[in-house]
């Protein structure tokens, strides 16, 4: 006779159409009961449209009836909202008062570093008016959805992505909204996206200290903030505002990352500090948090981002960043 | 006997304390009447505190009594709000969907180019959560103010500046406000700052297409928009959002500016396109507006900005930009 455990193992092989994760990983299995080889299964219907439900029904039937001794399968769908199903262990927000310093880059590299170590990772792109994440990962919409919610879109390596740009007809359409709507959208991305079980959700914030960071810090269980800056004095001043905001909102700063630290010139074999001397030491002290990494300006990385292939990136700087990130997370 | 004209000429030599412009340029002279050598003057009291009014009274007395045949001066102050006095001929907004592309830099360079040609110029720093203008110009607050309004702070070369950072106790204090407050602050900077007579007011917008640009386009008489971008594909996509917003709000795009186009390496005498190939041609076509300039990444310029000496900048790229800007403004 089949056991519930066997059924669950079977269900863990059924991937939800459109995303690369199983019914179990998405927390969609609500109930499994086995009586004399007859198997009753209840799945949540969150974010699953009728077609997807039908597909899953057939697939589950096939897989479960393949278990030795399974006689019949009775599959039902029950109403559930994504926020009842989501189990996100850590929310890490990537922030910087200043625009264009590389928040999206650091968000992506953080997610990729964790994904490469086997963690289940998602990225919530909270930069509603200037979203960059889908393009960097080469993913596009529309995502699967039903009345009850949306499914994220997986990257090549299985990082779950949600971004306003996945919902737009044309990627360069403008979102001309006032702040409250921006805040609402971030809340929706958090509550109405079926993230399922995640070890880490990385949130890519827009520049500034206004609606998006405020909503995030007030409404999401942020467990750590990573602050991004560049060597320019001007940037340092604006970034200190972000540090002060994090402090005022009583959210722990996990670490800081300096981007565009230097440019390597192959012809001369020299590093050129084109945005000035590093402020990493002072910034680390000001933030009371460790320096997680220093990334150079890297034309090769810029190309990978433009091509949607950021997941192929590797460098010494990245290896060092990954190690420091792990240490910082371990200390939390 | 003195004429009203002579009195006005005399008043044009009286500079308002704290700013480098005269009572006449600030539009503070409400009325001048001359009867048998007796001179009645009414000044608006906008943004002038009691001490400043006293200082002006003494100074005006001295200057006007110096006119041949002047017997007595009777000076009164009348209530007036800055917005009743401001006469701003052109409002030019510097915009970009993307952060960190150099909006503040282009705002400053636009203001300086016009100022060098003898125009009266002001800069309204609408980047409330990430203001950069005061630091680039080396100006600090607090500005002069009274119950009726605020005076801008002049730069070394006499450009009038208003920025939230002039009003903060510490330049790195965070402004943690939701969108509506941000919009209100921009409206206040427009209505409650005594700009006086200006040929050009340059508005430095924050990244994105949310509250700040919306408020500006809805409430200020914007006569032209300059769009700033960099060669990265990713930037181009977000910048196209700004172009679409300008179009939806029916505001004319004066021109576009590409920043960080290349880096000149002295050792090899080569230009390195570190953020990829230029998209200037496509962007110009997409925006339906001329390319006003292409600025390289210039470590020297970055240093001038960090030191508050941006007004000392000069380069071939800047000369070309100034010429193109003039042509674009002439065609308006």
pLDDT in tens, A273-292: 988 899 999 999 999 999 99
Q: Among candidates A322, A315, A205, which has minimal Cα distance to A262?
A: A315
Give the pLDDT band (50/70/90) at residue B178: confident
Residue B3 has pLDDT above 80, yes or no: yes
Nearest CA in chain A to B266: A268
Q: Which residues of A54-92 are buried (b: 16+ CB within 10 A; e: fewer)?
A: eebbebbbebbeebeebeebebebeebebeebbebebbb
User: B242 to chain A: which residues are within 8 Å by CB?
Assistant: 174
DSSP calls for A201-243: EEEEPPSSSSHHHHHHHHHS-EEEEEEEE-S-HHHHHHHHHHH
User: pLDDT at position A234, please?
Assistant: 83
Q: Most A CBs within 10 Å: which of B125, B126, B210, B248, as the mutation test of the A interface?
A: B210
User: How sure is the predictor about A300, in pLDDT bands with cuts at 50, 70 and 90?
Assistant: very high
Q: For residue A212, which residues of chain B lie inside 8 Å, CB to CB?
A: none
Task: Identify the weakest region by mean pLDDT among A21-35, B116-130, B204-218.
Answer: B204-218
Q: What pLDDT, in 10s, does the model give residues B298-328?
A: 999 999 999 999 999 999 999 999 999 999 9
Three-class DSSP category at A176: coil
Dihedral of the CA atoms A110, A116, A121, A126 (nearest 10)?
30
**pLDDT of res. B15:** 96
Reported ipTM exceeds the 0.90 cut: no
Residues 6+ apart with CB under 8 A from B269: none
Nearest CA in chain A to B308: A234
Q: Which of A100, A137, A170, A229 to mutate to test the interface with B (most CBs of B within 10 A)?
A: A100
Beta bridge partners of A258: A229, A294
Q: Residue A95 corresponds to which tokens in the numbers above?
A: 């922030």
* Positive/negative CA dihedral, B208, B212, B215, B219: negative
Q: Which residue of A has its CA nearest to B131?
A: A238
Note the CATH number of domain B4-80: 3.30.300.130
Using CB atoms, pick whichever of B99, B237, B274 lies closest to residue A297.
B274
Interface test with A, best of B234, B272, B305 (most A CBs within 10 A): B234
The pLDDT tens digits of the residues spanning B73-103 come to 999 999 999 999 999 999 999 999 888 899 9
Q: List b or e across A107-146, with b for residues whose CB sees 16 or more CB atoms inside 10 angstroms.
A: bbbbbbbbbeeebbbbbbbbbbbbbbbbbbbebebebbbb
Q: Do A210 and B174 touch (CB under 8 A)?
A: no
Q: What is the pLDDT of residue B97?
A: 83
Closest to B306 (Cβ–Cβ): which among A129, A176, A234?
Answer: A234
**Of B128, B72, B102, which is closest to residue B259 (Cα–Cα)?**
B102
CB atoms B299 and A305 under 8 Å: no
Residue ranges of chain B assigned to CATH 3.40.50.300: 84-331
Mean pLDDT throughout A304-332?
Answer: 96
Beta carbon pairs, A and B, within 8 Å: 205
Q: Which of B243, B244, B233 is nearest to B278 (CA)?
A: B233
Helix, coil or strand: residue A185: helix
User: Looking at chain B, which residue has its C-alpha nearest residue A249?
Assistant: B176
How many Å apart are CA A10 and CA A61, to the nearest integer?
A: 10
Residue B34 is inside which H or E element, if any? strand B29-35
| Residue located via tokens 């040929």 | B199
R_g (Cα) of chain B, nearest Å: 22
Question: Residue B332 pLDDT > 80, yes or no?
Answer: no
Measure the CA–CA gap between A28 and A5, rounded to whole angstroms: 16
- Where exactly does CATH 3.30.300.130 map onto chain B? 4-80
Which CATH number describes the domain made up of B84-331?
3.40.50.300
**With an 8 Å Cβ cutoff, are A267 and B263 in contact?**
no
Neighbours of B55 (CB within 10 A): 15
Question: Cβ(B180)–Cβ(B137) under 8 Å?
Answer: no
For residue B161, pLDDT over 80 is answered with yes
pTM for this predicted structure:
0.91
3-state secondary structure of A187: helix
| pLDDT over 90 at B46, yes or no | yes
CA distances from A134 to A205, B107, B124, B147 (A): 14, 30, 34, 49
| A305 chain-B contacts, CB cut-off 8 A | 232-234
Q: Going by DSSP bridges, is the β-strand pair B253-258/B222-229 parallel, antiparallel, or unpaired?
A: parallel
Asked if A176 and A212 touch (Cβ cutoff 8 Å), the reply is: no
Nearest CA in chain A to B237: A172
Cβ-contact A162, A125 below 8 angstroms: yes
| Number of helical (H) and strand (E) elements in chain B, helices listed first | 11, 15
Task: Give me the pLDDT at residue B40, please.
Answer: 97
Inter-chain touch B207–A130, beta carbons under 8 Å: yes
Give, as one character, the DSSP assignment of residue A21.
Answer: S
Please write the tens of the pLDDT for every residue from A155-186. Answer: 999 999 999 999 998 888 888 888 888 888 99
Instruction: Indicate yes or no: CB of B275 within 8 angstroms of CB of A209.
Output: no
Nearest CA in chain B to A102: B100
């Amino acid at each position: 006779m089949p056991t519930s455990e066997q059924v669950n193992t079977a269900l863990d092989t059924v991937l939800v159409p459109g995303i690369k994760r199983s019914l179990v990983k998405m927390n969609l299995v609500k109930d499994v009961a086995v009586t004399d080889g007859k198997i009753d299964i209840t799945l949540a219907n969150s974010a699953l449209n009728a077609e997807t439900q039908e597909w899953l029904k057939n697939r589950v039937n096939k897989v479960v009836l393949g278990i030795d001794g399974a006689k019949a399968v009775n599959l039902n769908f029950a109403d559930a909202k994504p926020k009842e199903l989501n189990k996100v262990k850590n929310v890490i927000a990537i922030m910087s008062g200043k625009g264009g310093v590389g928040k999206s880059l650091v968000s992506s590299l953080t997610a990729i570093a964790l994904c490469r170590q086997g963690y289940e990772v998602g990225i919530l792109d909270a930069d509603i008016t200037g979203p960059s994440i889908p393009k960097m990962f080469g993913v596009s919409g529309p995502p699967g959805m039903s009345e009850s919610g949306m499914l994220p879109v997986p990257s090549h390596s299985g990082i779950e992505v949600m971004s306003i740009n996945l919902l737009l007809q044309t990627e360069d359409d403008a979102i001309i909204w006032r702040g409250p709507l921006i805040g609402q959208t971030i809340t929706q991305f958090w509550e109405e996206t079926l993230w399922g079980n995640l070890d880490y959700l990385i949130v890519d914030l827009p520049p500034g200290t206004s609606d998006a960071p405020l909503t995030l810090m007030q409404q999401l269980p942020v467990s750590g903030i990573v602050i991004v800056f560049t060597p320019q004095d001007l940037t340092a001043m604006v970034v200190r505002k972000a540090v002060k905001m994090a402090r005022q909102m009583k959210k722990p700063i996990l670490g800081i990352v300096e981007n565009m630290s230097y440019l390597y010139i192959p012809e001369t074999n020299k590093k050129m500090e084109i945005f000035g001397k590093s402020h990493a030491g002072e910034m680390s002290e000001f933030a009371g948090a460790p320096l997680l990494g220093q990334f150079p300006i890297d034309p090769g990385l810029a190309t990978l981002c433009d091509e949607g292939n950021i997941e192929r990136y590797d460098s010494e700087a990245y290896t060092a960043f990954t190690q420091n990130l792990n240490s910082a997370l371990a200390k939390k």
